[in-house]
Structure formats: C-alpha cells, structure tokens
Amino acid sequence: MEIAVAIKLIAVALLIGFGAIGTAIGFGNMGGKFLEACARQPELAPSLQVKMFILAGLIDAVAMIGVGIAMYMLFAL
C-alpha cells in the first residue's frame, strides 16, 4: 500500500512542477515578444498590453487547473 502512496506523491509533484515550468516559459516568451513588438511599433503598445494581460490570465489558468487536479489527487484519491 505504501508504494501506491509514493507513486501518488511523485505524480502530484510532477504535475505541479511541470505546470510551474510551463507557466514560467510561457510568461518569459510572452514578455519577450511583447517588448519586441512594442519596440517595433510603439503606437500599438496599449492594444498589445491588453492582449498580453488576457494571455497572462489564460497561461496562469492552465497552471492553476493543474494545481487543482494535483490537490484532488493528493487529498481525495
């Protein structure tokens, strides 16, 4: 029975860890592209900023869903 608990803990750790890594990579790419686009066309900066914040929420939502599933696996299964 203890091996099942250990596997569950490893799965939860991987789920949260990969979610955090993916979010960090996504935010890094998005921020870099945003700065690049603002440097090329400064007049579009306000429009691009709104779109960047919408994407930031979507990127973060995916990680939060992963954390929610991990907590469900940890405490309910």
Q: Which residues are catalytic?
A: 60
Least Cα distance to 53 among 77, 73, 23, 30 occurs for: 30
Contact between 15 and 71 (Cβ < 8 Å)? no
Q: How many CA atoms are closer than 13 Å to the CA of 44, on its beta-carbon side?
A: 11
Give the position of tokens 């696996």. Answer: 73
